[in-house]
Amino acid sequence: MTVQIRPATCGDGPAIARISRQAFCEAIAQDSPRVQGILREELTFVATIANEVLGFVDNFLTRSAQDEARFELDLLAVAPAARGRGIGGRLVSHSLARARQSAARELRTLVAADNLTMQGICKKHHFTRSDVSYRLYVAEPRPPGAEAGADHGGHLVQVDTLAYSGIWLEGAISQAVVEAGFARAARAGSSRVGAVISRADRETAALLRACRFEAIGEYHWWTISL
């Protein structure tokens, strides 16, 4: 039977949550207003066969410190029984097509160093892999340890994905940026504060660990111009 790709709807929430648990052990609060709102934005796509959802991809938009729009390809998952049929590649193709309709000039995705399947999909679609290897650091929000001023010098990015709401720290990360991130997360009711930094950046890594961030895996950025 033919694989069909279409924008997700609110009714796809249970299937998306099930596939996410199977693929990532990542819980998606399918009935939450946040997730329902994301599913109405038409940036998430599902793959179906005979109306059964067998995979999904979650995308969202952010803005850089230079105020440039970025199209972020976040979660991509295919049900175990449906793998090997090219569904992941079809979902990425639709994400690319949607990105080209947006104001973004670049699509990017953070891919784990051991995720060979996603790396293969990125290569097939002519993405470029970063030369630098990165680590992902995440922390649960907590009250800031000091007053967070507006002139901290970093770039705070608020994101809402199917799996979480978060504040990402970008640019030159200092103690002031971390405190500002925790303060923003508290105001926004975010569930995660995170940063992606070069593995060679030991000074920032030490700062984040001291602020109770946990290092999760090794990654590369994969990007494509739109």
Which structural domains are found in the chain, ordered by start? 4-104 (3.40.630.30), 134-220 (no CATH)
Cβ-defined contacts of 33-36 (< 8 Å, 24+): 34/160, 34/165, 35/162, 36/10
**Rounded to an integer, what distance in angstroms lies between the CA atom of residue 151 and that of residue 32?**
34
Q: Quick one: which of 36, 191, 97, 72 has its CA closest to 16? A: 36
CB neighbours of residue 110 within 10 Å: 18
The residues with which 197 forms a beta bridge, in sequence order, are 135
- Cβ-contact 87, 47 below 8 angstroms: yes
pTM, two decimals, is 0.93
Through-space distance between the first and last CA atoms of the chain, rounded to whole angstroms = 32
Tell me the pLDDT of the chain (226 aa) as tens digits.
Answer: 789 999 999 999 999 999 999 988 778 999 999 999 999 999 999 999 999 999 999 999 999 999 999 999 999 999 999 999 999 999 999 999 999 999 999 999 999 999 999 999 999 999 999 999 999 999 998 876 655 556 677 899 999 999 999 999 999 999 999 999 999 999 999 999 999 999 999 999 999 999 999 999 999 999 999 9
